[in-house]
Structure formats: structure tokens, C-alpha cells
């Protein structure tokens, strides 16, 4: 009998011609087992007819005098990694311009704070400034308000600012290299860079706009040699980070949530390492967790998205929370008996962290601490769980993870509450000199060269 | 009978229109041409064998009447009525994860095609787009007026009751908690970070030059008015700042 007629089954997604095959569980397993064998393999992503490295177009355009390339220079002390097709990608390790994430800064501030704290510990020079917008792609993917020209213009404006930002400190252009915090910004910028390199019409259009803003270099568009995500920096720095580790995490069972916009958008640019996940999955996050000595445990829905959906997390949260609980949290808890789920993107951390409490109402009382890779790394390197990791903004039970790591979170929390009085008196501790954060406009005080 | 049209499928297999289409053929063609003319269209659509791997891995297909395979098929076969129908509701189900694109053996990006259809739905002022985006207006206001999508003051228990009582595990005023973040750029409540006034003014130029404000006006005229007022104010502030700078320079020169 067609179950749809009785309304007893809520069927969606496959069109009115669909009929239940009524396979037995065993037959269904056999029928789909080939998918499971392929789905975990790198070949799933590489099995394409047309693949190109857009950087070849980029170098040619620069040679033709059409664009200027912002290079990852020796001064940025780059480290080389391999991407999906075995191509090289340069990851700058110092002199970094932080391109912040609106979602991280807005509701998971311990995410960027942990990253900057790690950089301080490793003596990495950086700039965190106010002259930047978000990439605007969260809004674009959620609403459709925006277009390829606006995305391209925002990308080029922000990256131009990274190029010239050091002038405020009396330093030369190209001193800092942009480091993108958000996974969606990272995916979006790479996609937009590709369209810019392919389309003369788009270049012409945005050159007019960037010209009006005074954001051209020698009258030309400035294109970054590499678009670099912070998780890539963390990945290449993993051995150095492990060297300053203070807390053993060998007893921690960690699951990894690879972010869609980090490795499914422009997949050819994502990092793969034959020594991490046998080269079959993205190396980011798994690499640092293994370097720190945690147990990285697999789970069957690793490839699923988190359920964020861009618009959905704001106005269709039934979808977001159902997907987050059923396809991610519940699976990681039941299959992997995970102590923590580690991610490397804004929306994923927000979605997975915030959508657990409501599970109780649906008879799915799952609990799993959620942290970004850099927060976990900072935590085991001795960062304060509240002052730096800012774990109080996390709705998920990060306390259980801290207990397993041997951190007395109650004492640390009490320290932080006491510290708030100091903050009230205007004596907060900062990760950098606040005078650095304005590079122009109201409030900017020219400083020839900060120490 | 075949209509005079540039549509590839219609030239070869005839007119797929039903007896009573929702819109006149010319309007349906106009909508399709707007999608097709985007420079990304040929990159995102390369052919389709109907294998369905996109739908099999699609999170939205678990919960909605949505199939990326169907979206690709409608566009590939240039099914004008089907495209229009999908733009009423289905395209808004997509979670934009791009799992479909990563998996497609043809290199299609159903998620990318959905974005072209969403942009076109907005351009044509479709009521469905207006309805879907109404609850998203707070986010659009924030993003377009400040350049930040999300701000700390948006995350509270009234707006996100389903996130439970632990939105912040320390009871203290938001302003104080934000001051306690050791990054001075983040000591804010109305934006995710302090945004330089010059940055906002530059962003407004981008919005104007790229037609984003026009899109906004089409879907929500009231929101457009509010944002226009904010933009005017900030531009005035920037002019005042520049004038002050000039005055200071003149004083120094004297």
C-alpha cells in the first residue's frame, strides 16, 4: 500500500514517482554497500573530467599586466602542503592579517581569541584591525541578496586592506598576509577568485568599483596568491603547537566535523596528507588533534553537513536542530562514544554547540562538548578556559571535557568571575596593544612603528 | 506548436508548457534567461545522467520536498514551468552545503544553481521570496548596514529559546562579558567587531554599485528605507570626520 495515501509517512525529496522498494534490511545493506565503500575515499572527490589549477591563469594574467598578485613571500615563512590533487599550496606562518568571522566574533569569541593566544605563544606577528567587513557570504547563501559582483568587490576590498594595513605602523605594503577565519569566507573567496580569473567582464566591472574606493594597486586588481584558512595555519603549525602542550589528552576520544565550505567548495584547494586519514579525508583538524595525542575516532556521518543552512539556523531551526542532532551529535555519541566534536568553521560550531538542549524535548537527550580545533589546542596548551577559550559562551557541556582533561573548571570559572571586577574597572588583559586595532579613520592615532 | 524561443529543448522537442501556465511564456522565458545569462551558469551545469548521488547525500532532501537532482534536470531540460514552480518554495530548502557539488561526477553544482535561482526570484520580486526572507530581515539589516552578519546582542534567550538556558554560562551584563574578551576589536555588543567608519562607507558604495540595494528594495521596501537612513547618517559622519581632518591640517599649517 502506498503509505503516502494514509499520510502515515512523511516523505520528501524524490518526486511523486517514488515508491518504497520494500527491501529487507539485509538486501538494503547489500544494495548500498558499494556506496559505503566509495564514500570514504578521496577518489569520490577526484573522479572528475575537468580539473584546473586557477593559479596558472593568475600568473598569466599578472604576466600580461592585468592584475597584481599578493605573494606569500619568504618573509611570511611559508610551509608547503599538498592539496587534493597533490598540488602544492603555500601556507604563510607569520606576519598575518586576521580576517575575522562575524559568527565567531559575534557568538563564539573564544574561537579567534584562542587562535591569537596560540600565535602569541609561538611568537607569530599579526594584526587584528577594524578596517574589514565580513565576507557577506553567510547572508548571500541564506537570502540570495548579493551577487557575484558584490561578493567579488567585498573580497578584493578586504584583501586590499590586508595588503596596505601595515602602512599605519610605518611598514611596507604586502607586509601582512590575510588569514581567513571563517570557512564560508574561505570557500566563497576561493570561488570568487576563480570567477575573477576566468571572467574579463567581471574583472572589468569590479575594477571600476575598486577604483572608486581607491583599492587598486598600480591601477590593477590585487589577487592573493593563496587564500588561506586559519585551520591550514594550525595544521602546518601542529608540531610547534604540540611542543608547548601542557595537558595530556591521550584519553580524549575526539570526532572531527569537516566543514563543507572548507573542503566541498573549491575542493581542489583543500589539504590532504597521506599520513592523515590515509589521505582519504581533509587533513585539517585531524592533523592537529593527532599531533596533540588525542584519539581521533571515526563515525559514519562524518561527511554530512552540520545543518546550519545559513537561513535555516535563523528562521527554519526545526531543520537545523533535527539534522544536527540526528545526523551528527547522536551518531558521534552512539557510534564513537565521543568526548568532544572538533570543528573548524563558524556555522558548524554554532549549530552543533547550540542545538543539543532542545533534543530533550524530542526524547533525544544527547550531550557532546563542541569546540573549534584552535580552542582545544589552546586549552591543552594551558590557555585559561574562560579568559581565553571563553567556554562560557558554549551551550554544550564543555565542563565534562575539561574534567576529563583534569582541568578544575569550577576554580577557573571562579577566577574569571573575580576577574570581571578588574574588567569593570577598565583593567582588562588584552592579547595585543589596543592602539594597533585602528589603522585609519576616527580614533586612529598614527604610530610610527609599534614595538 | 513550437514557440519562437532560444530555448535549446524547445527547439528540439517542442513546447513543454501546460495548457494554463502560471505565467505567460515570455515571462517564463525571461526568468530562465536571467538564470542562464549569469556567468556562473555554464560552470555549474554540465549535463546530468539522473544518477541522483546529489539527492542521496543532500541534507535538505531528508526533510523537505527538495531534490538537487530535480533542480539540475529542470535547468538542463529547460523546463520553464518546472523552473518557475521550483522557485516558489523548493529552492529555499537548500542548505548550501555543496555536498551535491563535491559528489557530482559531472561537476555540476546544484547548490550553486540554486543561488542563481534565488537571485532571480528576488530580481523578479516573487512573493515567495518575500515571504521566505521576512524572518531573515534582522540579519539583512545588520549585514547591509554594518558589514557584520551577526552581533552579540542578537544572541539572547528571547530570540533563541530553543538553544536553552546556557547561551552564556556566566550571569553578567553582555557589555561586561564582551569587555572581558581579550581582543579589543571584540569589545562590542551591536556588531561582532568594531567596524571602521571608512569601511562601512566603502561597503555602501559596493552595495550601490552592484545592485544589492535594488535587490533589497524589491523584496522589502521598508527595510530598504531603514537601511538607506542609516547609510545617510554614516556618510554624514564620514564627511564630518574628513572636514575635521581638513580643519586640523589648516590649523597646523597656520
- Give the CATH number of domain B8-124: 1.10.1060.10
Q: Which three cell numbers stand for residue A262?
A: 572548507
* Min Cα separation A230/chain B (Å): 17
DSSP symbols for A201-244: HHHHHHHHHHHHTT--BTTBEEEES---BHHHHHHHTHHHHHHT
pLDDT over 90 at A14, yes or no? no
Residues B135-158: what's their mean pLDDT?
89
- Domain residue ranges of chain B, discontinuous segments joined by +: 8-124, 135-253
Q: Which of A330, A24, A52 is nearest to A195 (CA)?
A: A52
Which residues of chain B does A387 touch, with a Cβ-Cβ cutoff of 8 Å?
Answer: 180, 182
The reply to whether B252 touches chain A by the CB within 8 Å rule is no
Distance CA A150, CA B235 (A): 19
pLDDT score, position A152: 98
The reply to whether A331 touches chain B by the CB within 8 Å rule is no
Q: Is B27 exposed, middle or buried (0-12, 13-18, 19+ CB in 10 A)?
A: middle
Q: Do A14 and B57 touch (CB under 8 A)?
A: no
pLDDT score, position A175: 98
* Min Cα separation B229/chain A (Å): 19
Q: Which of A357, A251, A259 is nearest to A302 (CA)?
A: A259
Q: Is A301 exposed, middle or buried (0-12, 13-18, 19+ CB in 10 A)?
A: middle
User: To which H or E segment does residue A67 belong?
Assistant: strand A67-70
Cβ neighbours of residue A5 closer than 8 Å, sequence gap 6 or more: none
Among B43, B58, B139, whose Cβ lies nearest the Cβ of A139?
B139
Strands A79-82, A88-91: pairing kind: antiparallel
Q: Is B25 exposed, middle or buried (0-12, 13-18, 19+ CB in 10 A)?
A: middle
| List of domains in chain A | 54-231 (1.20.1050.140), 246-423 (3.40.50.11810)
* Min Cα separation A161/chain B (Å): 10
Cβ neighbours of residue A130 closer than 8 Å, sequence gap 6 or more: A437, A438, A439, B185, B193, B194, B195, B196, B199
Question: pLDDT band at B168, cuts 50/70/90?
Answer: confident
* Min Cα separation A339/chain B (Å): 19
Among B92, B147, B164, whose Cβ lies nearest the Cβ of A134?
B147
| Inter-chain contacts counted by CB atoms under 8 A, chains A and B | 327
pLDDT score, position A5: 43
Q: Do B199 and A131 touch (CB under 8 A)?
A: yes
Residues B17-25: what's their mean pLDDT?
81
Distance CA A81, CA A90 (A): 7
Cβ neighbours of residue B249 closer than 8 Å, sequence gap 6 or more: none
What are the two backbone dihedrals, phi and then psi, of residue A405, each rounded to the nearest 5 degrees? Answer: -85, -5
Among B39, B140, B205, whose Cβ lies nearest the Cβ of A199?
B39
In tens, the pLDDT along B95-129 reads 999 999 999 989 999 999 999 999 999 999 999 99
CB A157 within 8 A of CB A127: no
The reply to whether B166 touches chain A by the CB within 8 Å rule is yes
Among A105, A202, A429, whose Cβ lies nearest the Cβ of B186?
A105
Q: Which of A79, A76, A185 is nearest to A138 (CA)?
A: A185
Residues B145-172: what's their mean pLDDT?
89
pLDDT over 60 at B7, yes or no? no
Interface test with A, best of B52, B192, B215, B239 (most A CBs within 10 A): B192
Distance CA A355, CA B164 (A): 9
Q: What is the mean pLDDT of chain A?
A: 93
The reply to whether A14 touches chain B by the CB within 8 Å rule is yes
Residue ranges of alpha helices (H) inside chain B are: 8-13, 25-36, 41-44, 53-56, 59-63, 68-76, 80-86, 99-103, 110-123, 127-133, 137-146, 174-179, 197-209, 212-219, 221-253
pLDDT over 60 at B6, yes or no? no
Distances (CA, A) of A168 to A163, A172, A235, A270, B203: 12, 9, 30, 33, 21
- Ramachandran quadrant class, A227 (left: phi over 0; alpha: psi -120 to 50; beta: rest): beta
Distance CA B137, CA A143 (A): 9
Q: Do A423 and B160 touch (CB under 8 A)?
A: no
Which residues of chain B does A143 touch, with a Cβ-Cβ cutoff of 8 Å?
Answer: 118, 122, 133, 136, 139-140
CB A332 within 8 A of CB B139: no
Q: Do B203 and A267 touch (CB under 8 A)?
A: no
Give the B window 2-31 contacts with A, CB below 8 Å: none
* Min Cα separation B94/chain A (Å): 7
In whole angstroms, what separates CA A146 from the centre of its chain?
Answer: 22
In tens, the pLDDT along A382-398 reads 999 999 999 999 999 99
The reply to whether A265 touches chain B by the CB within 8 Å rule is yes
Q: Which residue has the higher pLDDT, B251 or A227?
A: A227
> What percent of chain A shows pLDDT beyond 90?
86
pLDDT score, position A17: 59
A96: helix, coil or strand?
Answer: strand
Q: Do A157 and B202 touch (CB under 8 A)?
A: yes
pLDDT over 80 at A32, yes or no? no
Predicted ipTM of the assembly = 0.93
The reply to whether B218 touches chain A by the CB within 8 Å rule is no
Distance CA A416, CA A414 (A): 5
In A, minimum Cα distance to B64 occurs at A12
Distance CA A383, CA A275 (A): 29
pLDDT over 90 at A450, yes or no? no
Amino acid at each position: 500500500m502506498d503509505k503516502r495515501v494514509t499520510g502515515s509517512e512523511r516523505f520528501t525529496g524524490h518526486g511523486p514517482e517514488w515508491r518504497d522498494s520494500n527491501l529487507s534490511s539485509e538486501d538494503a545493506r547489500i544494495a548500498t554497500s558499494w556506496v559505503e565503500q566509495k564514500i570514504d575515499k578521496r577518489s569520490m572527490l577526484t573522479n572528475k573530467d575537468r580539473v584546473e589549477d586557477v593559479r596558472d591563469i593568475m600568473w598569466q594574467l599578472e604576466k600580461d599586466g592585468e592584475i597584481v598578485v599578493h605573494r606569500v613571500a619568504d618573509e611570511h615563512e611559508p610551509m608547503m602542503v599538498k592539496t587534493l590533487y597533490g598540488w602544492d599550496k603555500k601556507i604563510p606562518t607569520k606576519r598575518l592579517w586576521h580576517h575575522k568571522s562575524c559568527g565567531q566574533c559575534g557568538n563564539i569569541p573564544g574561537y579567534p581569541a584562542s587562535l591569537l593566544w596560540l600565535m602569541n605563544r609561538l611568537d607569530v606577528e599579526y594584526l587584528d584591525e577594524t578596517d574589514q567587513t565580513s565576507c557577506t557570504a553567510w547572508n548571500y547563501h541564506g537570502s540570495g541578496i548579493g551577487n557575484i559582483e558584490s561578493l567579488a568587490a567585498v573580497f578584493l576590498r578586504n584583501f586590499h586592506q590586508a595588503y596596505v594595513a601595515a602602512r599605519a605602523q610605518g611598514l611596507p605594503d604586502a607586509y601582512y598576509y590575510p588569514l581567513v577565519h571563517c570557512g564560508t569566507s574561505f570557500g566563497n573567496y576561493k570561488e570568487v577568485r576563480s570567477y575573477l580569473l576566468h571572467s574579463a567582464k567581471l574583472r572589468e566591472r569590479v575594477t571600476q568599483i575598486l577604483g572608486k574606493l581607491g583599492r587598486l594597486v598600480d591601477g590593477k586588481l590585487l589577487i592573493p596568491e593563496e587564500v588561506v584558512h586559519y585551520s591550514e595555519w594550525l595544521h602546518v603549525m601542529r608540531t610547534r603547537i604540540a611542543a608547548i602542550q601542557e595537558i595530556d589528552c591521550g584519553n580524549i576520544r575526539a570526532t572531527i566535523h569537516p566543514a563543507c565550505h572548507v573542503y566541498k567548495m573549491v575542493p581542489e584547494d583543500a589539504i590532504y596528507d597521506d599520513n592523515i586519514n590515509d589521505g582519504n579525508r581533509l587533513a585539517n583538524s585531524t592533523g592537529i588533534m593527532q599531533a596533540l595525542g588525542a584519539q581521533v575516532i571515526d563515525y559514519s556521518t562524518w561527511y554530512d553537513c552540520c545543518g546550519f543552512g545559513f537561513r535555516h539556523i535563523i528562521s527554519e531551526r526545526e531543520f537545523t536542530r533535527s539534522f544536527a542532532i540526528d545526523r551528527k551529535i547522536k551518531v558521534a555519541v552512539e557510534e564513537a562514544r565521543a568526548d568532544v566534536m572538533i570543528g573548524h568553521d563558524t556555522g558548524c560550531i554554532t549549530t552543533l554547540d547550540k542545538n543539543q538542549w532542545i533534543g530533550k524535548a524530542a526524547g533525544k537527550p544527547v550531550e557532546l562538548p563542541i569546540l573549534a580545533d584552535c580552542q582545544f589546542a589552546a586549552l591543552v596548551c594551558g590557555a585559561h578556559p574562560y579568559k581565553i577559550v571563553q567556554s562560557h559562551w558554549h551551550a554544550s557541556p564543555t565542563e565534562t571535557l575539561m574534567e576529563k582533561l583534569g582541568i578544575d573548571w569550577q576554580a577557573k570559572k571562579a577566577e574569571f568571575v573575580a576577574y570581571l571586577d578588574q574588567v569593570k574597572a577598565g583593567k582588562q588583559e588584552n592579547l595585543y596593544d589596543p592602539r594597533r586595532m585602528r589603522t585609519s579613520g576616527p580614533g586612529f592615532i598614527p604610530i610610527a612603528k609599534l614595538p | 506548436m513550437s514557440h519562437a524561443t532560444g530555448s535549446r529543448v524547445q527547439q528540439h522537442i517542442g513546447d513543454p508548457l501546460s495548457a494554463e501556465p502560471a505565467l505567460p511564456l515570455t515571462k517564463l522565458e525571461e526568468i530562465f534567461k536571467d538564470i542562464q545569462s549569469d556567468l556562473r551558469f555554464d560552470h555549474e551545469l554540465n549535463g546530468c545522467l539522473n544518477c541522483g548521488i546529489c539527492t542521496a547525500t543532500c541534507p535538505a532532501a531528508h526533510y523537505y520536498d527538495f531534490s538537487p537532482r530535480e533542480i539540475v534536470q529542470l535547468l538542463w531540460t529547460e523546463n520553464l514551468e518546472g523552473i518557475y514552480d521550483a522557485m516558489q518554495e523548493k529552492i529555499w530548502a537548500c542548505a548550501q552545503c555543496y555536498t551535491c557539488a563535491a559528489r557530482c561526477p559531472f561537476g555540476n553544482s546544484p547548490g550553486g544553481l540554486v543561488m542563481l535561482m534565488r537571485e532571480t526570484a528576488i530580481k523578479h520580486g516573487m512573493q515567495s521570496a518575500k515571504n521566505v526572507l521576512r524572518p531573515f530581515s534582522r540579519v539583512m539589516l545588520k549585514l547591509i548596514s554594518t558589514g557584520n552578519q551577526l552581533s552579540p546582542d542578537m544572541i539572547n534567550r528571547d530570540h533563541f529559546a530553543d538553544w536553552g538556558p546556557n547561551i552564556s554560562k556566566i550571569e553578567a551584563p553582555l557589555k561586561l562579558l564582551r569587555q572581558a574578551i581579550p581582543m579589543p576589536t571584540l569589545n562590542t555588543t551591536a556588531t561582532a567587531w568594531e567596524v571602521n567608519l571608512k569601511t562601512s562607507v566603502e561597503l555602501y558604495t559596493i552595495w550601490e554599485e552592484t545592485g544589492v540595494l535594488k535587490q533589497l528594495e524589491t523584496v522589502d521596501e521598508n527595510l530598504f528605507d531603514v537601511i538607506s537612513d542609516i547609510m545617510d547618517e554614516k556618510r554624514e559622519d564620514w564627511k564630518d570626520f574628513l572636514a575635521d581632518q581638513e580643519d586640523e591640517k589648516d590649523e597646523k599649517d597656520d
